[in-house]
């Protein structure tokens, strides 16, 4: 093999160093993380949509026979599944395994943040913006007013926490609830594929019930209890952030309970049909 000239090697290394400096000093510099992460989240949604469409065309027997709007929803659920896996994994790590929000550290936990936690919220904002835009553009094909309310409140709360650094712990506690999204999407995929009477559909329904109970009912109760224990810190937040900490989770918790009632009815109905 012919050796690469030394000048060429040095030039390549120089460009690499310049690219690294650009990423470090601009794209991932603390002041720019919110903006680059939002754009990254929107781009990731586009990539997830296209990949879902591409993979489904070649590997799904159901997809080619769907209507145009069904295909859009199929691809859209691919986006929400990818986002849910990413943000729920990051949320579980930051809330329960990292020491970012530990009571043992000095300083008020309601004002703690890190480049990673801010980046994760930015990606989530990008997702909520993209998904809400699709819901409104095709309204009400991808979801009714409850989805508009859910995405609007979630997007505002997450964006506020990202830009200000306030209450990121409670924001991530709420975002753990996204762990139920893949199961909900699988249920829709199975239903669309005509597998509503399958064992997989029944098992998925039970998993939804358990995941919803833990992540969207019990965990919300724990979050409100945590806010109560740390109220002396919460009261020091900006009034808008203070309202969001109480208002948004309360509305979402109410919606979660309403949906949980429907899930219970659905599971009982499915079990009754199998007897």
DSSP 155-219: HHHHHHHHHH-TTHHHHHHHHGGGGGHHHHHHHHHHHHTT-TTSHHHHHHHHHHHHHHIIIIIIH
Residues 15 and 78 in one domain: no
pLDDT for 18: 53
Residues 180 and 93 in one domain: yes
Among candidate residues 119, 118, 153, 93, the one with its CA nearest the CA of residue 40: 119
Residues 102 and 114 in one domain: yes
Q: How far apart are CA 138 and CA 144, in angstroms?
A: 10
pLDDT for 5: 61
pLDDT for 164: 96
Q: Give every CB contact of residue 226 below 8 A, 6+ residues apart in sequence.
A: 169, 170, 173
Contact 252, 215 (CB under 8 A): no
The alpha carbon of 46 is separated from its chain's Cα centroid by a whole number of angstroms, namely: 15
Please give the DSSP secondary-structure letter assigned to residue 65.
G
Residues 22 and 39 in one domain: no
Residues 128 and 6 in one domain: no
Residues 15 and 39 in one domain: no
pLDDT for 23: 45
What is the extent of the structural domain holding 6? Answer: 1-29
pTM attached to this predicted model: 0.87
Please give the DSSP secondary-structure letter assigned to residue 4.
P
Residues 188 and 215 in one domain: yes
Structural domain total, the chain: 2
Residues 16 and 146 in one domain: no
pLDDT for 14: 58
pLDDT for 272: 78
pLDDT for 22: 47
Q: How far apart are CA 139 and CA 67, in angstroms?
A: 16
Residues 46 and 17 in one domain: no
Q: Is the peptide bond before 140 cis (omega within 30 degrees of 0)?
A: yes
Tracing tokens 């740390």 back to the chain, one arrives at: 230
Residues 5 and 103 in one domain: no
Residues 18 and 149 in one domain: no
* Pure H helices in the chain: 6-22, 33-59, 68-92, 115-137, 145-164, 168-175, 181-192, 199-212, 219-229, 231-234, 239-273
Q: Give every CB contact of residue 143 below 8 A, 6+ residues apart in sequence.
A: 135
Tens-place pLDDT, residues 86-122: 999 999 999 999 999 998 888 899 999 999 999 999 9
Ranges of residues in the chain whose predicted pLDDT is under 70? 1-30, 274-275
Residues 227 and 137 in one domain: yes
∠ CA 58-64-65 to the nearest 5 degrees?
A: 155
């Amino acid at each position: 093999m012919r050796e690469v000239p030394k000048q060429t090697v040095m030039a390549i290394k120089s460009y690499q160093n310049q690219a690294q400096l650009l990423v470090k000093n601009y794209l991932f510099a603390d002041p720019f993380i919110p903006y680059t992460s939002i754009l990254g989240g929107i781009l990731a949604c586009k990539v997830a949509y296209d990949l879902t469409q591409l993979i489904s065309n070649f590997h799904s027997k159901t997809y080619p026979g769907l209507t145009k709007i069904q295909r859009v929803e199929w691809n859209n659920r691919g986006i929400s599944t990818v986002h849910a896996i990413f943000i729920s994994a990051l949320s579980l790590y930051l809330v329960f395994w990292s020491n970012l929000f530990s009571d043992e550290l000095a300083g008020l936990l309601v004002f703690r943040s890190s480049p990673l936690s801010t980046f994760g919220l930015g990606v989530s904002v990008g997702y909520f913006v993209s998904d809400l835009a699709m819901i409104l553009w095709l309204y009400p094909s991808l979801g009714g007013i409850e989805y508009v309310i859910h995405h609007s409140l979630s997007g505002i709360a997450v964006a506020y926490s990202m830009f200000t650094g306030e209450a990121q712990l409670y924001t991530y506690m709420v975002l753990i609830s996204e762990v139920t999204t893949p199961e909900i999407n699988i249920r829709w995929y199975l239903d669309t594929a005509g597998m509503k009477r399958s064992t997989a559909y029944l098992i998925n329904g039970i998993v939804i019930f358990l995941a919803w109970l833990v992540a969207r009912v019990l965990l919300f109760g724990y979050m409100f209890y945590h806010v109560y224990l740390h109220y002396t810190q919460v009261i020091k937040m900006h009034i808008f952030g203070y309202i969001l900490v109480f208002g948004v989770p309360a509305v979402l918790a109410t919606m979660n309970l309403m949906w949980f009632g429907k899930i219970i009815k659905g599971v009982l109905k499915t079990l009754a049909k199998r007897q």
